[in-house]
A and B are shown apart, each in its own frame.
Chain A
Amino acid sequence: MKKFDKDRLILGFAGPALALVVAFALSTLVLLISNRDPFELYRLLFEQVSYSDVQVLIINQAGTYYLAALAVAVGFRMNLFNIGVDGQYRLAAMVAALVGASVTLPGPLQIALIVIVAMLVGAFWAGIAGILKTTRGVSEVVATIMLNSISTSLIAWLILPTNFGDQAAGSNNLTTGEIPEAGWFPGLPLSPDAGEIYGFTFVAAGCGLVYWLVLNRTRFGFDLRATGASESAAQASGVDAKKMILTSMLISGAIAGLVGMPTLLGDTHTYSLDFPVGLGFTGITIALLGRNHPVGIALSALLIAFLDKASSPLDQFGFEKEIATIMQGLIVISVVVSYELVRRYGTRRQQQKVGEELAAGHALTTEKEAAL
């Protein structure tokens, strides 16, 4: 029987709470040192949220971040570091945009085709690292870092006008050509002039649900978590660890392939040189912050998106908007440190508790007395 554990719940919340307090204090310190009024800045940040157009921006950004963080989190649950989400989503978005622009299918089919191509490309790119790890023992961290850089070059080559790219007259920007309107994902207008929430944001939320179901309610999810907790123990109980590594890398890559979709299908409808970059690294931050839990990740994605979007108008008020990046860095560091501290505290307390219970039951009294 699973008993409701109050202590565990408190400890679970203590980590993020401690982290946010520390990060908040440190950011305030940075602002004070640089002679900026911290409370004015925080007030400005929160004032931004009251504007509906900023709200839409935040939600759209959070949806994209959510997918990136899910992709990273799948790996994390397996003890795999997919640093390569960045390269995977960019290559996937680029190839999907190319396919989308060159094929015309009726409505939903067009969207489905683009999404499937993106997932396949993402999975393929992550799969290279997976195969290198399982067959040749290459660390996935190094392999995915290399693949990130290779994908940058590959995209730069593919998008050349002499290859597959398009260059509009009088523009320096290279694109992959526009996807026909059948491939545009309808959005949800919040109010007449606030802009639309990307329809794909809801797909992202759905992915979170699937992630939770698969990890917690299926045999596969159990195997995955077991392998992450202890590879040798999982192997001993009949899990093929190598197959699990490859599969989770492929899944991680497939989700990474979706990262570019909200922007591609909802906004730009083409992959160009100014397509957002670096989302994969933000995804790592968010996955860490949300402790790989779908709800935690959603909240963290909103927090980071809030810092990103609410900070951009700060320049007009005499503040440096780069403070948001510092805050993000401080949040990650205090989060990982406080989780570790709370975990250590929890372990120590558990040991004490077990010790006390044993002593109370007089099971080990003599030994304990001897030890004392």
Chain B
Amino acid sequence: MSTEVSAARVAPKKGGGRRRLSLPVVLLIIAGALALVSLVRLISGANDVTSVGQVSGALELAVPIGLAGLGGLWAERAGVVNIGLEGMMILGTWFGAWAGFQWGPWVGVLFGIIGGALGGLLHAVITVTFGVNHIVSGVAINILAVGVTRYLSNFTFADAPGGSSKQSPRLEEIDKITVPGLSDWMQDLQQHHWFFVSDLAGIIGGLVTGLSLLTVVALLLIPVTWFVLWRTAFGLRLRSCGESPVAAETLGVNVYKYKYIAVTISGGLAGLGGAFLAIVATSIYQEGQTGGRGYIGLAAMIFGNWMPGGMALGAGLFGFTDSLKLRGGAENVHAMLLLLAILLVIVVFWQLYRKKYLTALISAAISALLFTWYFLTDQVPSQFVDAAPYVTTLLVLALSAQRLRMPKADGVPYRKGEGK
């Protein structure tokens, strides 16, 4: 008996000190977080924080970021760093809009994917076949994508009715679905502003109201990616190219082929994200519309430790901060200060429990600062909200970079025959 206990105690430590969370624990954590948000909402009176509109807005903003992040995930799992996501997204917005205004939104989506995939293919040719540094290639693709789309706009949108050399004509919308009874019922529940129940209703309501079909597709791509990469032989081979291409080649995997496939899919996903921006989010193509979302997608992926679930969480967080600000949320964001401060108090107790007094002290100081900020002011400057996702990413990286584990051969140029 006694040996069994000690073995069980030692086991998790061997695995890098990280225990796998079981489903009930995850659900408990989510419920706890929601209760906390609800509490903050009641104290601060910022009832819009979990409203139906807020949640569905956040979802719409999170999708392009999530798709870019998913693109980054595919490329980096095969060992190719993809800074060119931004450029591939730009290609996606342009191609999506160009095909969209001529042949309808779904053809637009298809062309958006193709446009992004072409960017991905170029990245694959430069990095895999020619072995150029991945970041250099990505930067070059970003420049080229801007040039190509601006140049092409002169020949296409400039002559179209309602278009100019900087933007496309208005695009047709993709159907939106609202689950009949459920949506109204949730909206109703949410209006009562009850503790917890209304917040839960707001979130469910946001997920079933005015949901674009493309959003559904994008959401489905997350579990699909997980399944393909972690539960199929194809995925295992692809990931082996990112962990150790030499070993993969020794086992007969055609490393170049898998890298090509991964990077092209990566571009296609980024292109889909771009097409979503143009067709669903704004119904129009505008120059510079992506606004660095490719980079945020990359950040979301790193935030999520190169895993689809974590990446989705990161994208959701970034989408939520964006939407808080867009919905006139000086008040909402102000409430978030309180949430952050309370979260830090929890961190303080956790660190004290783990006997890490210095971290606890720092957390306590920051928490105190946030509380004072909350009580002394009425709103947070919108510029700070803009910066929030980036600061969060930096903090997450700084606090947990040692725990994050990127694919081992990520970003390392590889030449065929090294394994022989």
Q: Residues of A with Cβ closer than 8 Å to B?
A: 30, 34, 81, 83, 132, 136-138, 141-143, 145-147, 149-150, 152-154, 156-157, 160, 281, 284-285, 288, 320, 322-330, 332-333, 336-337, 340-341, 344
Are B383 and A156 in contact (CB-based, < 8 A)?
yes
Are A341 and B130 in contact (CB-based, < 8 A)?
yes
Are A150 and B397 in contact (CB-based, < 8 A)?
no
Asked if B45 is at the interface of the complex by the 8 Å CB criterion, the answer is no
A-B contact list, 16 entries, CB within 8 Å: A138-B394, A145-B295, A145-B298, A146-B390, A149-B292, A149-B386, A150-B390, A281-B139, A285-B140, A325-B143, A325-B151, A329-B141, A329-B148, A333-B141, A336-B136, A336-B140
Q: How far is the CA of A179 from the CA of B127 in the complex (A)?
A: 47
Q: How far is the CA of A337 from the CA of B387 in the complex (A)?
A: 36
8 further contact pairs, Cβ within 8 A, besides A141-B83, A326-B144: A83-B135, A83-B139, A142-B393, A149-B386, A156-B386, A329-B147, A336-B130, A336-B132
Residues of A within 8 A of B302 (CB): 142
Residues of A within 8 A of B29 (CB): none
Q: Mark B90-123, 1 if CB is under 8 A from A, else 0.
A: 0000000000000000000000000000000010
Tell me how far the C-beta of B303 lies from the nearest C-beta in chain A, rounded to whole angstroms. 10
Q: State the 4 A-B residue pairs at the shortest beta-carbon distance, nearest first.
A: A329-B144, A325-B147, A153-B387, A157-B383
> Taking A284-B139, A328-B143 as contacts, is the C-beta distance between A138 and B151 under 8 angstroms?
no
Residues of B within 8 A of A30 (CB): 151
Q: How far is the CA of A190 from the CA of B391 in the complex (A)?
A: 46
| Chain A residue with Cβ nearest B388 | A153
Residues of B within 8 A of A149 (CB): 292, 295, 386-387, 390
Are B147 and A142 in contact (CB-based, < 8 A)?
no
Residues of B within 8 A of A146 (CB): 299, 390-391, 393-394
Residues of B within 8 A of A323 (CB): 147, 151
| Chain B residue with Cβ nearest A143 | B394
Q: Residues of B with Cβ closer than 8 Å to A?
A: 81, 83, 122, 126, 130-133, 135-137, 139-148, 150-151, 154-155, 292, 295, 298-299, 302, 381, 383-384, 386-387, 390-391, 393-394, 397-399, 401-402
Are A136 and B401 in contact (CB-based, < 8 A)?
yes
Are B143 and A285 in contact (CB-based, < 8 A)?
yes
Please report whether the interface of chain B is mostly helix, strand, loop or mixed according to DSSP: helix
Residues of A within 8 A of B122 (CB): 333
Q: How far is the CA of A284 from the CA of B142 in the complex (A)?
A: 12
Are A143 and B143 in contact (CB-based, < 8 A)?
no
Tell me how far the C-beta of B393 lies from the nearest C-beta in chain A, rounded to whole angstroms. 5
> Taking A323-B151, A325-B150, A326-B148 as contacts, is the C-beta distance between A340 and B132 under 8 angstroms?
yes
Residues of A within 8 A of B141 (CB): 329, 333
Are B398 and A138 in contact (CB-based, < 8 A)?
yes
> Taking A150-B391, A328-B147, A336-B133 as contacts, is the C-beta distance between A136 and B295 under 8 angstroms?
no
Q: How far is the CA of A30 from the CA of B381 in the complex (A)?
A: 46
Q: How far is the CA of A332 from the CA of B147 in the complex (A)?
A: 13
Residues of A within 8 A of B135 (CB): 81, 83, 141
Tell me how far the C-beta of A36 lies from the nearest C-beta in chain B, rounded to whole angstroms. 10
Q: How far is the CA of A328 from the CA of B128 in the complex (A)?
A: 22
Tell me how far the C-beta of B254 lies from the nearest C-beta in chain A, rounded to whole angstroms. 21
Q: How far is the CA of A285 from the CA of B146 in the complex (A)?
A: 14
Residues of B within 8 A of A324 (CB): 147
Tell me how far the C-beta of B394 lies from the nearest C-beta in chain A, rounded to whole angstroms. 5
Are A322 and B381 in contact (CB-based, < 8 A)?
no
Residues of A within 8 A of B144 (CB): 326, 329-330, 332-333
Are B143 and A281 in contact (CB-based, < 8 A)?
yes
Are A150 and B132 in contact (CB-based, < 8 A)?
no
Tell me how far the C-beta of A297 lies from the nearest C-beta in chain B, rounded to whole angstroms. 15
Are A136 and B397 in contact (CB-based, < 8 A)?
yes
| Chain A residue with Cβ nearest B393 | A146
Are B140 and A329 in contact (CB-based, < 8 A)?
yes
Are B130 and A157 in contact (CB-based, < 8 A)?
no
Are A138 and B397 in contact (CB-based, < 8 A)?
yes
Q: How far is the CA of A316 from the CA of B126 in the complex (A)?
A: 36
| Chain A residue with Cβ nearest B295 | A145
Q: How far is the CA of A156 from the CA of B83 in the complex (A)?
A: 25
> Taking A81-B135, A142-B298, A146-B299 as contacts, is the C-beta distance between A326 and B151 under 8 angstroms?
yes
Residues of A within 8 A of B150 (CB): 322, 325
Are A153 and B386 in contact (CB-based, < 8 A)?
yes
Residues of A within 8 A of B81 (CB): 141
Residues of A within 8 A of B384 (CB): 153, 157
Are A337 and B401 in contact (CB-based, < 8 A)?
no
| Chain B residue with Cβ nearest A153 | B387
Q: How far is the CA of A152 from the CA of B122 in the complex (A)?
A: 30
Residues of B within 8 A of A156 (CB): 383, 386
Q: How far is the CA of A156 from the CA of B383 in the complex (A)?
A: 6
Residues of B within 8 A of A288 (CB): 136
Are A326 and B386 in contact (CB-based, < 8 A)?
no
> Taking A137-B401, A146-B394 as contacts, is the C-beta distance between A332 and B386 under 8 angstroms?
no
Residues of A within 8 A of B142 (CB): 281
| Chain B residue with Cβ nearest A339 | B132
Tell me how far the C-beta of B165 lies from the nearest C-beta in chain A, rounded to whole angstroms. 8
Are B383 and A136 in contact (CB-based, < 8 A)?
no
Q: How far is the CA of A327 from the CA of B140 in the complex (A)?
A: 11
Residues of A within 8 A of B292 (CB): 149
Are B390 and A320 in contact (CB-based, < 8 A)?
no
Q: How far is the CA of A344 from the CA of B132 in the complex (A)?
A: 11
Q: How far is the CA of A285 from the CA of B142 in the complex (A)?
A: 11
Residues of B within 8 A of A285 (CB): 139-140, 143
Are A34 and B147 in contact (CB-based, < 8 A)?
no
